[in-house]
Structure 1
Amino acid sequence: MITVLFVDDEPKVLRGVQRQIDMVTDDWQVVLASGGAEALAVLNRQDIDVIITDMRMPGMDGISLLAKVARQYPHIVRLILTGYANATDALRAANFAHQFLAKPIDTDVLVDIVQNTIKLRDMLNSCELRQVVGEIDTLPSVPSLYTQLMQAL
């Protein structure tokens, strides 16, 4: 069972995500948080495998949230989902998010991305290696290597 924390300031979006995920897979335990502070409280009391956060939220935005998660919980897979992608935000998010996803996203595609990311994380079965990889801020872009990795997944 994969435990996925969804963070969005819009309750309607959170309910919709819960409903869609429940229809597509029963391999996930979905946890919902309405903002960054609530998400951090959830992380303090519960083991989470994946966090998927909206970028633009009042108070703590998604990038700030993922920066804290990267420092405190580097083993958690971090995804950011936004309908307002621009180059500056994408570059900021790249420092803390494992994947940057555009809204709207098909639920089946999201499930595939999360499952493939979890598989890749689980391949790194060394706790020390996972810690080091989780703390990496940026990786150099190698298009051919990236393409090969994506095809392998």
Structure 2
Amino acid sequence: MSRGELRFALLRAVKAHHLQVRHGIVGIARTSDALLAGSGAGMVRAATNVAMSQGFAGALVAGNDASLTSSGGMVVAAGNRLELYGGGGGVLFARSAHVEDATVPLAIARHLTFSGHSRVLLTTPQAVALGVGFGIALAAAASIIRRWYG
């Protein structure tokens, strides 16, 4: 499919150059540009840009920019800029991210801004510190267990 616009669709997998899905469910989508409105997706991989409005994606990967409005995703990654307005995300990866009126447990970005009633639980330095702390704790626990049980 070169250019696809789907309404009220239930798809297992779709591959298109430009994809627009309105009020549908997509398992896996591979596309150049994607626009999802009121839709859910398991995984969306776009070579350039993704825009999602009132939807959800398990994993959303954009080569350039991603914009989510009243939407969310478990893992949202953008090669350049990621904008999240309302809603939330599990883990955000981007070169530059802006979060407005949203909740995000973990945001990893070179430049992160947030406004409104936003809440980011862990930023990049905090995530690194937490990872180092867990690594030290696991190493200490493994050392103690080895001493006790030979």
Q: With the length of structure 1 as denominator, give the TM-score of the two structures.
A: 0.31
- Higher strand residue share: 2
Greater RCO, 1 or 2 (C-alpha within 8 Å, sep 6+):
1
- Please say which structure displays the higher CA radius of gyration: 2
- Higher helix residue share: 1
Q: With the length of structure 2 as denominator, give the TM-score of the two structures.
A: 0.31
